A and B are shown apart, each in its own frame.
Chain A
Amino acid sequence: MSDTVVLTLATAPAHTLVADCIVADRFASLDARAIGELPVVHGGRRARLGDFFTVTGERSTSLRIEGDLERVEGVGTGMAGGEMLIAGNVGPDLGLAMEGGRIDVHGSAGENAGGARPGASRGMAGGEIVIRGDAGARAGAGARRGLIVVTGNAGPRTGRAMIAGTVVVFGSTAAGAGRFLKRGSIVALGAIECPATFRYACTYQPPHVPVLLRYLRARYGLAVEDRHIAGRYERHSGDLAELGKGEILHWVAE
């Protein structure tokens, strides 16, 4: 058993690499050899994780991945616990349908981070994903619970059809955010365009936002500004075409 399992990208994938076997809590009972034998799909063909990554450490729920993972899909799929640090960019479907644990991306992430499996309506059901960069389209789509934080900009349809949970975007959020939202919150510190099916409620200081932002500052060391912690937010309720109990909280620059 070691403190951390380290996966280092040794052979860059020539095609899309589906590596939904990279799940922090799954490594708890695996030695380095067994981790290397886990199945992946490279360009539609079966392969082993060890064909692309060198593995250091074993039997730990703490995982560090190094290298450019932009072509690697499905990292953290169904993750239920543990901690995963990705030192670089990562591809689509990060933390797909995850249920617990923490994923900390020191880079940008592709589409559908924390989203649902193909054909499923529910995305992540718990856990935290922090993306210290930009997020692709549909971050948090269909989320049932959990937290996604994007320190850069978020792509189109962020938080689409969320059932609950929270998405925080420090930068700007592209169009279509929150469409079909049932419950759940999108906290936008930057620019955001509310869908027409959202209705403005009021401008106030949501008391949980300071707790949330201070947590992000303390737990992840994110550069949260005091003006965001103490600031006022416009509350837009929606999606009124759905249940309407969701919200977009948009920080109001003083």
Chain B
Amino acid sequence: MKINGVAIDDTFAEAFTMRVARLIITGRNPKWARAAAVKLTGFATSVIGCKCEAGIERELPESATPDGRPGVSVLFLTMDKESLPQQLIVRIGQTVLTCPTTACFDGLPDVPDRLAVGKALRVFGDGFQASKVIGGKRYWRLPVMEGEFLVEETFGMQKGVGGGNFLILAGDVDAALAAAEAAVLAMTDLPGVILPFPGGVVRSGSKVGSKRYRNMIATTNDAFDPTLRAITESRVPAGVNSVLEIVLDGTDAPAIEAAMQAGIRAACRPGVQGITAGNYGGKLGPHHFHLRKIMA
């Protein structure tokens, strides 16, 4: 299969089931909502080192937020149920609570599995906090120097998908980067998906474990490192001198598929020789995103 002359490898991306929460952060204006969201989702690229993965899903207009102010939707993922509330409590407490004019709402209101995040944060109010039930939802009002911080008592948690991916194989770094940027642009603001890495792009794709260091969980994906083509079991085709990866996390498999389709199509541009994907032979992750099936 070829798209715009770019070969689509007959392979699949292998992804994992994770736990996901969606947060709606609002602010006086888009600047402050985004400022909180950027800090909240900082250092959350991979569970390997950050214990969580997070990113901005999309910006929301006033009409789409609970308080009628500009907002940002954020997705937050962890590998297990227990660590998701821990991460949310610490991160919201340090980044959204602290950010001027912001409020924090649950973006998965219909999900039965609830995390008592606002309930834990309320004690910052030192007994001066107050709760309000509006439309069946409980909110906590925390007094702060600027005024009040409003946070929902609970946030929904559901199963999500982490680790959707595709690799862009290009003739040089300029072409790889241009294709990756185009892919990210095409996937930006699609519902239910985040790209947790810087700018949505990964240059250091990894393999499980290490060939040399026993305590390493993940090490460089030498099969796709062009500089190692001559000394390792390389999968870098001839003429490819730079590889960039796009990693996607999402609320469900269809959202990942839709984003991969948009991203891959955008990435198929001059200078790109092929698109492939990372997997573990299909033995580790239950979600398999077959590139040719997605692009058919």
Contacts and interface: CB of A to CB of B under 8 A. Distances in A.
Interface string B112-147: 000000000000000010101111000101000001
B132 A212 contact: yes
Given A166-B132, A185-B132, A214 B149 contact: no
Interface stretch (B40-48, B63-71, B210-218): B63-71
B105 to A, nearest CB: 8
A111 B139 CA distance: 30
A208 B68 contact: no
Judged by DSSP, the binding face of A is mixed
B134 A229 contact: no
A204 interface: yes
Residues of B in contact with A, size category: 10 to 19
Contacts of A212: 132, 134
Contacts of A231: none
Contacts of A207: 67, 103, 141, 147-150
Given A145-B133, A229-B68, A208 B147 contact: no
Given A145-B133, A245-B130, A208 B69 contact: no
A12 to B, nearest CB: 36
B24 to A, nearest CB: 11
Contacts of B147: 202, 204-207
A219 interface: yes
A211 interface: yes
Contact of B68 (A166, A204, A214): A214
A205 B27 CA distance: 12
Contacts of A160: none
A88 B21 CA distance: 44
Contacts of A126: 133
A183 interface: yes
A229 B65 CA distance: 13
A219 B135 contact: yes
B148 A204 contact: yes
B209 to A, nearest CB: 48
Contacts of B148: 204, 206-208
Nearest to A215: B135
A208 B135 contact: no
Interface in A184-206: 185, 202, 204-206
Given A204-B147, A204-B148, A245-B130, A210 B135 contact: no
Interface string A136-157: 0000000001110000000000
B150 A208 contact: yes
Interface in B58-106: 66-69, 103
Contacts of B149: 207
Nearest to A214: B68
A208 B141 contact: yes
B139 A211 contact: yes
A213 B69 CA distance: 13
Contacts of B133: 126, 145-147
A219 B147 CA distance: 27
A214 B130 contact: no
B130 A210 contact: no
Nearest to A201: B143
B129 to A, nearest CB: 10
Interface string B9-45: 0000000000000000000000000000000000000
Contacts of A146: 133
Nearest to A226: B68
Nearest to A219: B135
- Most chain A Cβ neighbours within 10 Å, of B69, B133, B148, B150: B133
Contacts of A183: 130
Contacts of B130: 183, 185, 245
Interface string B137-177: 00101000001111000000000000000000000000000
A149 B270 CA distance: 63
A81 to B, nearest CB: 12
A102 to B, nearest CB: 10
Interface of A: 126, 145-147, 166, 183, 185, 202, 204-208, 210-212, 214-215, 219, 229-230, 245
15 contacts: A145-B133, A147-B133, A185-B132, A202-B147, A207-B149, A207-B150, A208-B132, A208-B141, A210-B67, A210-B69, A211-B67, A211-B134, A212-B132, A215-B134, A245-B130
Given A204-B148, A205-B147, 4 more contacts: A126-B133, A185-B132, A214-B67, A214-B68
| 9 smallest beta-carbon distances between A and B, as pairs | A207-B150, A210-B67, A204-B147, A215-B135, A208-B132, A211-B67, A207-B103, A212-B134, A215-B134
